[in-house]
Each structure stands twice: as C-alpha cells, then as structure tokens.
Structure 1
C-alpha cells in the first residue's frame, strides 16, 4: 500500500514547486508618481472652475506622448485622463468628462507645472 503513494510524492513535490506566489507588481517610477499628482492637480483645478469631474480618478490616468494627450480621447461613458510630459518639463493633462456628466463629454487640456505644484493654463475643447 505504501508503494503506490510513494510514486505520487515526487509528482506532488514538482506540482507544488510550480505554485509559487506571483511576484508583487513593480513599484511605480518617480515619473509615474508625479504624473498621477499632475492628474490630481488638474482635476482639483477643474473642479474649482465648475468643470464636472464626476467619475474621474487620477489613479486611472494613462501616461502617453504629448501628441496623444493633445488629441484627447473620444467621448464616452467614462471620464478619461491622459497625461504627458512636455519638453519644457511641464505636464499636459487631458481630461475628457463622461457623457453623463454636467460637462457632457467636454475636454479640458490642463498645463501643470513641472513637479505638479500648480496649474499654468486650462483650455477647453469639445
């Protein structure tokens, strides 16, 4: 009776070795952390200017190239945030409000200072 069990021990050991926990996700880079701060700064500035940022979450901001941020995103059911580092080290944050918001799919292009310490300018588009 012990003989059949003994055959399974190496197989069970091999299977359990392959079930190691997944490594933790990589920590965000300093650039990504500052990009999220820039997105948060932009949302705060827009909220103070009565731009509806309902459903917008700075932690969901995507870091992209400047041309893509300037082009923005199509109107949709969810708020979208694109963040790009510009050549002068400022941030360009494109915030597209959701279709269900009071701003009805409008887009704001917010220039945020280099270390996300303030807002330089805001442009509104459709």
Structure 2
C-alpha cells in the first residue's frame, strides 16, 4: 500500500510544507535521497530515517488516521524505536495526540515535534 513517488509530484504537499523555504528544503531532501516521498492510502508523506526514528517531515491528505497505521508498520519493519512527526498545524497536533503521539520538543524551525515510542 506504499507507493514511492518522484520529486516532480511534490507540489501535492505544498500546503503541508508550510513556507516556500520549507518546501524548497523538503524538495532538496527528496532529490538528494535523504527523504522519500510516498503515497499511503491517498495521503502524501515525506519520510526519512534519523538514527533510530522514522521522521514524518510532512504529510497531506484526508485519510491520515488510517495511513498512520502503515507508517507505524513501516517503522516497526525497519526496527526503529520511534516515530517523529513535525507539524505547525493545530488540527494535526490534536489528531497526533489521539494517535498515541506525545509532544517531544519544538524544533529550531518552530515546528512542534511529536513522538511515538514503539514497543516492538
């Protein structure tokens, strides 16, 4: 259910990326292979592995709750210890709290970072 996409389709996450500078940074990350652009159940994600964590750089789409289960499964399959989710969107912050993510820190960029610790 995870489809890997090309950087030419990144416009689909432009709203979630926030500013043009953030979008350009994400685009560069994907082009250089540090992050992956994927579609899971109609939700567009930019993901990267940071140490022992799967980082959700950004996500955009209407089926986020269902798609998040696939992100958890991916992190478990990669034997990672946690998932980090960066966002500035208040509605998404509320959803993350209901999906077992806890506030972790505020990144220097101003994004709120939420973390889910994996037990598997």
Please give the TM-score of this superposition, normalised by the length of structure 2: 0.31
CA radius of gyration, larger in: 1
